[in-house]
């Protein structure tokens, strides 16, 4: 097992290129199962979640090649040899269940383990199954295995009780080969939904309304192949923006889309961080002392739950009282205890975190409890006095590609070593 050893960094300076979005890439990779024609997916960093998804696709019989240096994946699911994925890969990440829609739509059946991933709260698949059932599928769950069957999926009107990103994506993929029209109401509107819809249209699917709360798909059209470039990772971009803020730094983010970052930019502006759009990307720097915040996580275009932990790190250094309300996941404050080891003053009250700013944080031995919690610990370690050791960094590497190298390029003192 490896760990990060981080020493105080006065400020981050320089340019950093943001990688392709993991959360956009995973459903797009799953969607390659919908067509027998070759697909080329570009701008996909070799994160552990991406590698696990590719192993799942290979297990179905898809032909997969990956140029990791160029970050280009080629997939051809001409003839699948299996409709069953195995726990070894599927049990490691939530997104493994995104293959259900394509398999059910194309082959009429799928046999999948219950998905795994970070333990940040309840993320039931009931909305996915509700959509499939409405389209005519049947499901059975035994011994941790979910078996789906359908003679032929049919278009349907589906209302989601919550605008779940995963359920919206899975139902969209199921609908493109289904007979007739499918309407998803109260659909998720995240940028990753739009990127998936763009890819489906490139395959030849008829998808409209993505980016709004009502998505319409006319199914049954013949699909071909496509070449698609994945959007930049808005959460990685936001994390580096917070890095500039917490260290009082001055950085330029390359390969970003400002429209995907509006809620993060708005909150950073409230606490004296300046963000300017320039030809190279976004220029981020702090002006004055950090101010406390009130923020609530919400589905897009609200403040993203994936940025809650990095912002908690930032608020520990603000002068005054901040309150963060987490509405998406009920168990997403596990990083608070680790930040307290570093001297943070945080009080958890149900779904609210009350943060009193402190004069300084101090280095400590801490552990990444999940992906975004790990990013928060890195940010606090940069601002903390002395040395910080972060264990269980495999969580971090599920979603941040070469984060230590990128930070060193900005002047951070961060090293990767073996845990004792």
- Selection from 404, 336, 345, 343 nearest residue 370 by Cα: 336
Pairing assessment for the beta strands 39-42 and 226-229 based on DSSP bridges: parallel
Residue 10 assigned as binding residue: no
Does the annotation flag 127 for ligand binding? Answer: yes
181 in a labelled binding site: no
> Does 111 show up as a binding residue in the annotation?
no
Residue whose tokens read 């997104």:
95
On whether 33 is known to bind a ligand per the annotation, the reply is no
- The residues facing 337 across adjacent strands are none
Contacting residues for 117 by C-beta, under 8 A, at least 6 apart: 92, 93, 94, 95, 123
Ordered DSSP codes for 350-397: TTEEEEE--S--B--EEE--SHHHHHHHHHHHHHSBSEEEEE-TTTGG
- Phi, psi (deg, nearest 5) at residue 255: 60, 60
Radius of gyration over every alpha carbon of the chain, rounded to an integer in angstroms: 21
How many Å apart are CA 193 and CA 98, to the nearest integer? 13
Q: What is the arrangement of strands in the sheet containing 352-356, beginning at the earlier edge strand?
A: 294-296, 321-325, 352-356, 345-349
Residue 221, marked binder: no
Tokens of 169: 């994506």
Active site residue 118: yes
| 22 marked ligand binding residue | yes
Using CB atoms within 10 A of its CB, is residue 368 exposed (0-12), middle (13-18) or buried (19+)?
buried
Question: How far, in Å, CA of 61 to CA of 72, rounded?
Answer: 19
Beta bridge partners of 418: 2
Q: How far is Cα 99 from Cα 104, in angstroms, rounded to an integer?
A: 8
Confirm whether residue 355 is marked as ligand binding.
no
Query: Distance between CA atoms of 169 and 187, rounded to whole angstroms?
Result: 9
- Greatest Cα-to-Cα distance within the chain, rounded to the nearest angstrom: 64
Options 32, 39, 76, 118, the catalytic residue: 118
- On whether the CB atoms of residues 148 and 104 are closer than 8 A, the answer is yes
Q: Is 306 within any annotated ligand binding site?
A: yes
Question: Contact at 8 Å (CB) between 252 and 63?
Answer: no
Instruction: Report whether 328 belongs to an annotated binding site.
Output: yes
Q: Which amino acids are annotated as binding site for UDP-N-acetyl-alpha-D-glucosamine, given as ranges?
A: 94, 123-127, 306, 328
Active site positions, annotated: 118
Q: Which amino acids are annotated as binding site for phosphoenolpyruvate, given as ranges?
A: 22-23
Q: Which amino acids are annotated as binding site, given as ranges?
A: 22-23, 94, 123-127, 306, 328
């Amino acid at each position: 097992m490896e760990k990060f050893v981080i020493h105080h960094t006065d400020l981050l300076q320089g340019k950093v290129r943001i990688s392709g979005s993991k959360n956009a890439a995973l459903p797009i990779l799953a969607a390659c199962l919908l067509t027998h024609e070759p697909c080329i997916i570009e701008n996909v960093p070799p994160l552990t979640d991406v590698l696990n998804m590719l192993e799942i696709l290979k297990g179905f019989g898809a032909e997969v090649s990956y140029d990791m240096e160029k970050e280009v994946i080629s997939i051809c699911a001409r003839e699948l040899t299996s409709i069953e994925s195995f726990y070894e890969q599927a049990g490691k990440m939530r997104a493994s269940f995104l293959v259900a829609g394509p398999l059910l739509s194309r082959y009429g059946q799928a046999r999948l383990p219950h998905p795994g991933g970070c333990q940040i709260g309840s993320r039931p698949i009931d909305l996915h199954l509700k959509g499939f059932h409405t389209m005519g599928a049947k499901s059975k769950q035994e011994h941790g295995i979910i078996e789906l069957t359908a003679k032929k999926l049919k278009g349907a009107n589906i209302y989601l009780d919550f605008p779940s990103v995963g359920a919206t994506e899975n139902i969209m993929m199921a609908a493109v080969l289904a007979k007739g029209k499918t309407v998803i109401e109260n659909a998720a509107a995240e940028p990753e939904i739009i990127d998936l819809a763009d890819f489906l249209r490139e395959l030849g699917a008829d998808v409209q309304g993505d980016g709004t709360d009502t998505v319409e798909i006319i199914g049954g059209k013949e699909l071909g192949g496509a070449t698609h470039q994945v959007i930049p990772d808005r959460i990685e971009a936001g994390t580096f923006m917070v890095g500039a803020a917490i260290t009082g730094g001055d950085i330029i983010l390359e390969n970003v889309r400002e429209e995907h970052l509006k809620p993060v930019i708005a909150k950073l502006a409230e606490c004296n961080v300046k963000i300017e759009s320039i030809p190279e990307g976004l220029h981020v720097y702090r002006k004055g002392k950090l101010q406390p915040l009130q923020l609530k996580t919400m589905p897009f275009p609200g403040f993203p739950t994936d940025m809650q932990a990095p912002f908690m790190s930032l608020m520990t250094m603000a002068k005054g009282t901040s309150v963060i309300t987490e509405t998406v996941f009920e168990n997403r404050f596990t990083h608070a205890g680790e930040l307290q080891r570093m001297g943070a003053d945080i009080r958890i009250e149900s779904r609210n975190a009350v943060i009193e700013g402190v004069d300084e944080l101090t280095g400590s031995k801490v552990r990444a409890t999940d992906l975004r919690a790990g990013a928060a610990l890195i940010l606090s370690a940069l601002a903390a006095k002395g040395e910080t050791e972060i264990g269980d960094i495999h969580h971090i590497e599920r979603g941040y590609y070469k984060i230590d190298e990128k930070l060193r390029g900005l002047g951070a003192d961060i090293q990767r070593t073996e845990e004792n």
